[in-house]
């Protein structure tokens, strides 16, 4: 009898606890269902956004960039890499090109090649953006009578390899500030008034996935690209109502001369496209997204990088950059 009474009391206690827990179980079920629905909606939206940005433009007809923005495009840092490839993609769509770089021989060669290949007008301006305020009066004078519809701020510099901040010379620090940051500000300041007057135009500022999180041993480069990203997004809010489209373009590594410090990323591969391959995708996002990697493979890399805990990102990039630095310094010694 005592045993039966104990069992009955346990059963009654269990039943009462179960009743009191029902409310919490139901509440947790509702929260779980809401979370699942939210994630499904988010996944569907993100999938649609990626298709809209990286697939649909490739399937549909090309946008008439001349009609939408204007006859001429200015591209800085346009004799190599992404800048050259982007200029060629613009020319392919009938846009006249003004190339700006510091090497006159390369400018002449690229200008001639674009004219002969794509049958558009080209011009070039020799300018060294590392010289502080020096080049801008001449650039402003050369562009004053042009109908500039698109500005691509691509010019950028990076140290020969990842390194600790105190190992960088003052010249390298000033070059990154003048070339990576000041040039974009001054070029926008020169061409934007004309765009506002016409009530149309597009500005593309080329940032980097190094801006997605603090990146050790690329401190100044990453910070300069973060500046461009912030600058672009704020500028778009200021001038979208005036018909100006501003895009922060955030490529990951492409197989260009800037990546030669690492043999692993200096050759084209699945995640490291050639500049030409990258530019053909990136230009299709112009007018569609104000902040994009420009290429779906780079979007995967950026999304993963952005969502990693900061300490993991910092540790991982520090580890890789130490290896690259060691190889670069060993190569110099040899």
- CATH for 140: 3.40.50.720
Find, among 141, 157, 174, the residue nearest to 76 by Cα: 157
Provide the whole-model pTM: 0.82
Catalytic residues: 221
Within 8 A by CB and 6+ apart from 129, the residues are 76, 102, 135, 155, 178, 179, 182, 183
CA distance 30 to 10: 30
Residue 323 has pLDDT above 60, yes or no: yes
Banded pLDDT at 163 (limits 50, 70, 90)? very high
Of the listed ranges 11-20, 165-174, 211-220, the least confidently predicted one is: 11-20
Question: How many structural domains comprise the chain?
Answer: 1
Residue 27 has pLDDT above 60, yes or no: yes
CA distance 111 to 144: 20
* DSSP state letter for 255: B
Q: Answer yes or no: is 22 within a domain.
A: no
Q: Answer yes or no: is 33 within a domain.
A: no
State residue 110's pLDDT score: 97
Q: Answer yes or no: is 115 within a domain.
A: yes
Mean pLDDT within 232-257 = 93
Banded pLDDT at 60 (limits 50, 70, 90)? low
Task: Answer whether 246's CB lies under 8 Å from 201's CB.
Answer: no
Residue 188 has pLDDT above 80, yes or no: yes
What region does 301 belong to: left with phi over 0, alpha with psi -120 to 50, or beta?
alpha
Residue 14 has pLDDT above 90, yes or no: no
Residue 131 has pLDDT above 80, yes or no: yes
Q: Answer yes or no: is 238 within a domain.
A: yes
Find, among 298, 291, 317, 319, the residue nearest to 213 by Cα: 317
State residue 44's pLDDT score: 67
pLDDT (tens digit, 9 = 90+) per residue, 97-114?
A: 999 999 999 999 999 999
* Structural domain that includes position 101: 55-333
Chain mean pLDDT for the chain = 87
Q: What are the φ/ψ torsions at residue 182 (nearest 5 degrees)? A: -60, -35
Comparison of pLDDT for 257 and 2, the residue scoring more:
257
Q: Answer yes or no: is 286 within a domain.
A: yes
State residue 225's pLDDT score: 96
Banded pLDDT at 198 (limits 50, 70, 90)? very high
Sheet of 244-249, strand order: 122-126, 96-101, 72-76, 148-153, 201-206, 244-249, 291-292
State residue 309's pLDDT score: 94
pLDDT (tens digit, 9 = 90+) per residue, 69-104?
A: 999 999 999 999 999 999 999 999 999 999 999 999
Residue 273 has pLDDT above 60, yes or no: yes
Q: Answer yes or no: is 87 within a domain.
A: yes
CA distance 84 to 106: 11
Sort 209 into a burial class: Cβ within 10 Å, 0-12 / 13-18 / 19+: buried
Q: Answer yes or no: is 44 within a domain.
A: no
Lookup: tokens for 43: 């996944």
Q: Answer yes or no: is 272 within a domain.
A: yes
Within 8 A by CB and 6+ apart from 75, the residues are 83, 86, 87, 90, 97, 98, 99, 100, 152, 154
Mean pLDDT within 23-36 = 68
State residue 30's pLDDT score: 72
State residue 41's pLDDT score: 67
SS3 at position 262: coil
Of the listed ranges 42-46, 154-158, 307-311, the least confidently predicted one is: 42-46
Q: How far is CA 67 from the centre of its chain?
A: 25
């Amino acid at each position: 009898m005592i045993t039966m009474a104990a069992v009955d009391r346990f059963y009654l206690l269990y039943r009462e606890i179960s009743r009191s827990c029902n409310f919490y179980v139901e509440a947790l079920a509702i929260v779980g269902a809401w979370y699942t629905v939210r994630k499904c909606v988010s996944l569907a939206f993100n999938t649609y956004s990626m298709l809209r940005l990286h697939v649909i433009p490739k399937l549909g007809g090309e946008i008439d960039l001349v009609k939408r923005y204007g006859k001429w495009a200015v591209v800085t840092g346009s004799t190599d890499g992404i800048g050259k490839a982007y200029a060629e993609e613009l020319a392919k769509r009938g846009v006249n090109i003004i190339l700006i770089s510091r090497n006159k021989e390369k400018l002449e060669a690229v200008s001639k090649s674009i004219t002969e290949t794509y049958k558009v007008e080209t011009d070039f301006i020799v300018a060294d953006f590392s010289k502080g305020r020096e080049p801008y009066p001449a650039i402003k004078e050369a562009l004053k009578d042009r109908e500039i519809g698109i500005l691509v701020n691509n010019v950028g510099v990076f140290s020969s390899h990842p390194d600790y901040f105190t190992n960088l010379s003052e010249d390298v620090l000033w070059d990154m500030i003048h070339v990576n940051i000041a040039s974009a500000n001054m070029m926008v300041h020169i061409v934007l008034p004309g765009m506002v007057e016409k009530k149309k135009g597009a500005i593309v500022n080329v940032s980097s996935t190094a801006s997605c999180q603090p990146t050790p041993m690329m401190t100044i480069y990453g910070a300069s690209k973060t500046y461009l990203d912030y600058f672009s997004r704020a500028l778009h809010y200021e001038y979208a109502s005036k018909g100006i489209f501003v895009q922060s373009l955030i490529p990951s590594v492409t197989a260009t001369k800037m990546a030669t410090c690492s043999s692993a990323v200096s050759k084209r591969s699945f995640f490291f496209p050639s500049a030409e391959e990258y530019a053909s995708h990136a230009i299709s996002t112009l007018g569609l997204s104000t902040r994009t990697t420009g290429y779906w493979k780079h979007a995967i890399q950026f999304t993963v990088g952005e969502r990693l805990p900061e300490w993991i990102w910092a540790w991982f990039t520090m580890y890789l950059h130490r290896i690259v630095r060691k190889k670069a310094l060993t190569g110099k010694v040899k």
